[in-house]
Structure 1
Amino acid sequence: MSAPHRDPLRDPAFLADPYPTYDRLRAGCPVQRIPTGSGGHHAYLITGHPEAREAFTDPALSKDTARFFADRPSDRDLHPAISRNMLASDPPDHTRHRRVATRLFTTGRVRALRPRITRIVDALTADWRPGTDIDLVADLAVPLPVTVVCELLGVPEADRATLAARSHELFDATDTALVDAASHHIGDHLTRLVADSPDLAFVRDCAAGGLDRDETVSLAALLLVAGHETTTHFIGNAVLALLRHPEALARLSRSPDLIPAALDELLRHDSPVSVATFRHSTRDLRIGGVDIPAGHPVLIAPGAANRDPATFPDPHRLDLDRDASAHLSFGHGIHRCPGAPLARAEAEIALRTLLTRFPNTRLTVPPTTLPRRPTRLTRGLTTLPLTLA
């Protein structure tokens, strides 16, 4: 196994289109040691689908980043609600947090939310007419999940736009000071909200689940950030994929009842989560025939695993007839995204509205010029200009 000399995940070409890089790395070895950053550090990157599934469920890979970095000096100043949350924890703490989060997004609760989601989409698109130019990201893909998650948390309407902007800044890989400041804005705001609003349904659910106030704030922060960021990218990536595959767009426009079944393939084709957050090995282990020593960071790349040709033949083709249910865009195992049912409902309703009302919508710029978010963790558009038709 030969390791790259430079961090392949920081190359501008990777941020624009990660799939050639993923293909090259996977072809070399589905588990590779790669440099991360410029400080001489390395991580093991997993790009194969069976290897990623195995890693997602291996208890020897810890998500407790505080434990891993405890003896490493850091100049970062993230708010504890951002740095110490369910996503960065192991059982038994993770189990308590996840139990509460899962109850928020049961099938029954999400079904009950669908009329409200539909009303939000209808309100956001009320002024849309054929011939109108819109930015799908700013006009629908951002405000829809932001509104839904903020209503679930009890965030006042006047504060939502600012919190969404700070959430986007958390993923700005080019400015760590901006990221740290954004984390404190979000953490401080939610701390006040939880302290001042003990009767909010979300706060009561957390208390009933045994979470203390700090844990409630950290879960709120995670749901706010993860609850809308990835859904925004899910919607934007899905619409772009359909616009680039006119036959699939026409098919779903004619038969919108096929949209729920198409979501898995849309998620597989261009995952909103490109690289999962850090894990680290708590003991020596072996994945995909590669030995990973104890104490090393491990990165699992759902975006790469979803295009592993050994699992998904002709993986770069959008195929609505493909069984893509094994995709890893929501993760796998105990850390699988508990909000997946809500994200699917939001994307389904948004797509149904767009495709049935404006089946001939077109891009107003070449797809290769569309700007992407400057982060390896998520894959999303900053803008998606369309002309409705």
Structure 2
Amino acid sequence: MTEHAVPASELYTHEFATDPYPAYARMRDTTPVCLVGSPRFDSYLITGMDDAKAALTDPRLSKDLYGPGEHYLRIFGPNSASLNKNMLNSDPPEHSRLRRLVSQAFAARRIEALRPRVVEIVDELVDAFFPHGRSELMSEFAIPLPMMVICELLGVPENDHKQLIGWTEVIRKSGASRRPEDDRAAVQQAQLRLHHYLADLVRDKRAHPGDDIISALVDACDRDGTLSEQELVATTFLLLFAGHQTTADFLGNAMVALLSNPDQLALLRANPELLSSAVEELLRFDGPLPVASPRIATEDVEYQGVRIPRGSIVGVVINAANHDPAHFADPDKLDLCRQGGSHVGFGYGVHYCLGVSLARMEAQIGIGALLRRLPGLRLAVAVDELHRLPPASPFRGLVELPVQFTTG
């Protein structure tokens, strides 16, 4: 551990997993560029909004984890290269080339054409648990909704959806058990199975193309070599995982925020036209990706008078920036009518979320349906009893979200 680094064990506690925002506020006020040490690697965390935007667009902070130093091994482990060598972990011009190949698939007009199908999926999911007057919203709604939608876009057979949910949930819940060595083994096995499955799916699409994203990527790969076979599989994984993971966690976080703020819940029920702006405020208030994917300092850089040495891992704490009082009045208050201030929940700069239109649509339709169709919706346990993802998880979300409602 680097000298003077704050041990992760002092920061990532059970209390932190429940409510990280007091810790973020202390970091932002006292050490806005904070060195945090862990057994695997040290990293510098940037917490203020202005510094966050600067870092997210700083060319000296590289997203290419696969160059000299093999940083991906420190961060993701030995099985990561086959799935993570994609546009998320690359810089221009490689990032620009890879992003351009899939950007049309997520164009706002094409996503809007999916709206009737998303409505249909949402209603089917709610119909399945509505008669019971209760639901575990993560497994019965928040997780399957975005997975079903992204799988249809990618061209994944419907019979395989549950299997993919199982593998991706192993990765998402990493660290939730009491035996870290078992978690690591399970994650590596899930990564391996995902890689084999996606490689087989790519081969099948090559032989039997359809009107889907994977078929289009295979065509680009075969037609002019703009995509290597490894990039093809890794890009498919990124679209699958990113296309459902963050939306699932956001839906869970958003419902907890609303059910914990009855005045705002009542406001949104009475004014469904606020859904669009409500989604933005809910994302600012408690986003699913607390820290942006890691960057590597390619040279010595300085933020807030703190020297970050070349080769250091840098994390931009999005959820801390989104609670910066210099940019948001009373930032720890959920205010669905908030005016002014723009969050960085979807990122910033060239790595701005590619699936933003899809995520917004799924959130608006999903949250709207739950509020409309589930009268008397309430948490089935106290907020502090909710089973959350482990404190050191790269995601902020829930393992389970039990709720109750009236049916008659």
Common fold by TM > 0.5: yes
1:71 CA displacement? 8.2
Is the aligned partner of 1:367 residue 2:383?
Answer: yes
Aligned partners of 2:246, 2:146: CA distance in 1, in Å? 9
- Which deviates more from structure 2 when the two are superposed, residues 249-258 or residues 81-90? 81-90
Q: Which amino acid aligns with 2:220?
A: A
Residues 41-95 of structure 1, C-alpha deviations (whole Å, 9 max, x = no match):
4211011111111100001101111225338976933153323122111112111
Q: What are the ranges of 5 or more consecutive residues in structure 1 without an aligned counterpart? A: none
Question: Pairwise mapping of residues 227-376 of structure 1 onto structure 2 (< 5 A)?
Answer: 227-323=243-339, 326-374=342-390, 375-376=392-393
Residues 19-57 of structure 1, C-alpha deviations (whole Å, 9 max, x = no match):
12111111112112221x225x42110111111111000
Aligned partners of 1:58, 1:84: CA distance in 2, in Å? 21
Closer, same or farther in 2 for the Cα pair 1:359/1:261, shift >3 Å? Answer: farther
Name the counterpart of 2:54: 54
Name the counterpart of 1:14: 16
Closer, same or farther in 2 for the Cα pair 1:184/1:72, shift >3 Å? Answer: closer
Closer, same or farther in 2 for the Cα pair 1:383/1:68, shift >3 Å? Answer: farther
Residues 332-352 of structure 1, C-alpha deviations (whole Å, 9 max, x = no match):
111111011101100100111
For the 8 Å contact 1:274–1:378, the answer to whether it is kept is yes
Question: Pairwise mapping of residues 101-180 of structure 1 onto structure 2 (< 5 A)?
Answer: 101-129=102-130, 132-171=133-172, 172-173=174-175, 174=180, 175-180=183-188
For the 8 Å contact 1:3–1:32, the answer to whether it is kept is no
Q: Which amino acid aligns with 1:58?
A: D
Residues 123-148 of structure 1, C-alpha deviations (whole Å, 9 max, x = no match):
11124447701111111101100100
For the 8 Å contact 1:265–1:323, the answer to whether it is kept is no
Q: Which amino acid aligns with 1:66?
A: Y
Q: What are the ranges of 5 or more consecutive residues in structure 2 without an aligned counterpart? A: none
- Which deviates more from structure 2 when the two are superposed, residues 169-178 or residues 354-363? 169-178
Q: Secondary structure at the match of 2:314?
A: strand
For the 8 Å contact 1:280–1:298, the answer to whether it is kept is yes
Q: Which amino acid aligns with 1:185?
A: R
1:286 CA displacement? 2.0
Is the aligned partner of 1:385 residue 2:387?
Answer: no
Closer, same or farther in 2 for the Cα pair 1:91/1:72, shift >3 Å? Answer: closer
Is the aligned partner of 1:203 residue 2:214?
Answer: yes
For the 8 Å contact 1:26–1:48, the answer to whether it is kept is yes
1:97 CA displacement? 1.4
- Which deviates more from structure 2 when the two are superposed, residues 256-265 or residues 169-178? 169-178
Residues 162-190 of structure 1, C-alpha deviations (whole Å, 9 max, x = no match):
21121122231442222221111111100
Closer, same or farther in 2 for the Cα pair 1:79/1:23, shift >3 Å? Answer: closer
For the 8 Å contact 1:117–1:148, the answer to whether it is kept is yes
Name the counterpart of 2:70: 70
Residues 73-124 of structure 1, C-alpha deviations (whole Å, 9 max, x = no match):
7693315332312211111211111112322211101100111100000111
Aligned partners of 1:105, 1:73: CA distance in 2, in Å? 31
For the 8 Å contact 1:117–1:346, the answer to whether it is kept is yes
Closer, same or farther in 2 for the Cα pair 1:273/1:71, shift >3 Å? Answer: closer
For the 8 Å contact 1:275–1:376, the answer to whether it is kept is no
Q: Which amino acid aligns with 2:214?
A: V
Is the aligned partner of 1:27 residue 2:39?
Answer: no
Residues 217-249 of structure 1, C-alpha deviations (whole Å, 9 max, x = no match):
111100111111100011111111000111111
Closer, same or farther in 2 for the Cα pair 1:316/1:122, shift >3 Å? Answer: same
Q: Which amino acid aligns with 2:403?
A: L
Aligned length: 386
Aligned partners of 1:248, 1:3: CA distance in 2, in Å? 42
- How large is the RMSD of aligned CA atoms in angstroms? 2.1
Q: Which amino acid aligns with 1:15?
A: A
Q: Which amino acid aligns with 2:371?
A: L
Aligned partners of 1:71, 1:370: CA distance in 2, in Å? 34
Question: Under a length normalisation based on structure 1, what TM-score does the superposition of the two structures give?
Answer: 0.93
Question: Under a length normalisation based on structure 2, what TM-score does the superposition of the two structures give?
Answer: 0.89
Q: Secondary structure at the match of 2:235?
A: helix
Q: Secondary structure at the match of 1:379?
A: coil
Q: Secondary structure at the match of 1:179?
A: helix
For the 8 Å contact 2:52–2:318, the answer to whether it is kept is yes
Aligned partners of 1:260, 1:130: CA distance in 2, in Å? 29
Name the counterpart of 1:38: 39
